[in-house]
Every structure is written in C-alpha cells, then in structure tokens.
Amino acid sequence: MKLKGKIVWITGASSGIGEALSVAFAEQGANIILSGRREDALKAVAEKLPNESLILLFETTEYDILPSMVDRARHWKGKVDILINNAGISQRSLAIETHPDVHHKIINVDLLAPIWLTQLLLPHMAEAGGGHIVGISSVAGRIGAPLRTAYSAAKHGLIGYMDALRAEVETLHGINVTNILPGSIRTDVSRNALTKEGEKRGKSDDVIDNGMEPAECARQILEAVENNVPELIVADGPELMMAQLRQSDPEKLFEMTAQFGAETARRYEAGDDN
C-alpha cells in the first residue's frame, strides 16, 4: 500500500469530508493527525481509526499558535508526509446585502488559514525531501455560484495559490500539490453556512442532502493523492458539466450561470433559498 506508514494531517477532521478522509487514509495504513475545534468529535473519529492518531485541537485562524501546532505535528513521527487543508465554511446570502465581516471571515477561514498552515509546513517538507499538499476547494472555486460570492472568492483563490505553489515546489523539492473541487457532498456544509449577517444558516439544501456520500468523495480524493493528480473535480451531473465548461466554453457557462443566478436570487428574495 502506497500510504502505509505515511503521516497524514487533516484539518476539519471532526465531520463530513474530513472525517471520511481520516477513515479512508487510515484504512490504507496511514497514521492520521486530526485537527479541528471540537475535541469530543475528534476523539470519536480517532476511535474509528485502526492505526495510531494524534489530535491537535485548534482553530485554523489562530495564527499565533499555528507554529507550535506545526512543531507538534512534525515531531510526532518525525515528519508530515501529506497535509490536507480541508477546514472551511460556506455562505448563503446575496452579495448586495452581505455584511463585509462575512466576506472577511470566510476568506480568512477558507483561504488565508490554509495558505498560512501550508507556508509553515513547507520548509520542513522540503527539508525532508518531499511531501504532498492537498487543497480542498470546491466546484464554486471554478464557477461563480450564486449566494456564495465570498465562498467562491476564497475557493478560487485557493486554487490559484495551489497552482502557483505546484509550479514552484514540485520539481525542485518533490512536493506534490493536488486541488480537489467537490460538488454537492452530503455533509453539514449548508447548515453551517453563514447568512448575510454572519449567523449560522441552520438548515440544509436539497442538493446537498441528495449529494454524494462523504465516503465516496474520500475514496476519489485518496486515489487522486496516490496517483499525484494535480486537480480532481469530485462531482457529477450538472455540477461536473459546469465546472468543465469554465475551461472548454466559458461563454456558455456565463450564460447558464446568469440565468441560474437570477432564478436563485429571485427565490432567495421570496424566502426560498433552498
């Protein structure tokens, strides 16, 4: 097994895609570093794993303590082979009425935090002779998704950072970089999304509730990491088609999103943001 004995650090590991990734990588023989804000949830995930794990409890935007977290992570087994930047938060609000603090928080959590954690770990990966950095972006990081302006901005930015990073470190330092663009995955992402005033939305979307199972998403991500795939869209149906159109026929995509966005905005203003 390619992953046997590897040290895999997963942020946002307490639920959803992060939890599924922890289980999937552990089942392939990896030792997992679990990070998140909820200690009880992280312990529950750790109990599911067949191999040794380490819990690092912190908020990814607590920049002053991140250097100490990186030191603890790399000294646990001597190095970190794979970092999966998975922690994030979404949004459900129209740009025209969204408070600036919402944009600030989402960009901080979804873009600046994974950049900073990656920056802190990079020198140690280079010194160790290589590694793998994974950024969990989104289909919304490829297309402009209505009700998600801040989220799309952050996820587009993460792809840009990871692409530029790959260009710098893949050949010189043996550090591989993979972008993951999930579509609708059956998680609590919609319930935890921020409203126009920055409050938790507290309800899910039909498209999310009918989405891909986190275990299947994790399986595809694991396979992409094993095979050093630079970018993987984990979606099907219209989401996959629209993400692919961004490169093959952007004008057609913009026409589709203009229509879809107008319909979504009208439903939202009428009180139906599902």
- Within-domain flag for 152: yes
Could you list the active site residues? 151
Provide the pLDDT confidence category of residue 220 given band limits of 50, 70 and 90: very high
- pLDDT, tens digit (0-9, with 9 covering 90-100), for 16-30: 999 999 999 999 999
Q: What percent of the chain has pLDDT over 70?
A: 99
Structural domain harbouring 65: 7-238
- Within-domain flag for 139: yes
Q: Domain count of the chain?
A: 1
The tokens of 221 are what? 């991500």
- Within-domain flag for 247: no
Strand order across the 231-234 sheet: 53-57, 31-36, 7-10, 82-85, 131-136, 175-182, 231-234
pTM score: 0.95
- Within-domain flag for 248: no
- Within-domain flag for 89: yes
Q: Residue 273 above 90 pLDDT?
A: no
- Within-domain flag for 115: yes
CA angle 250, 252, 258 (to 5 degrees): 100
| Rounded Cα–Cα distance for residues 57 and 14 (Å) | 10
- Within-domain flag for 28: yes
Q: Read off the CATH number of the domain in which 36 is found.
A: 3.40.50.720
Query: How many Å from the N-terminal Cα to the C-terminal Cα in the chain?
Result: 42
Please give the pLDDT value at position 274: 67
- pLDDT, tens digit (0-9, with 9 covering 90-100), for 113-137: 999 999 999 999 999 999 999 999 9
Q: Give how far Cα 105 sits from Cα of 38, 62, 102, 165, 193, Å.
A: 19, 12, 5, 24, 11
- Within-domain flag for 262: no
Length of the chain, please?
A: 274
User: Exposed, middle or buried, 170 (CB in 10 Å: 0-12/13-18/19+)?
Assistant: middle
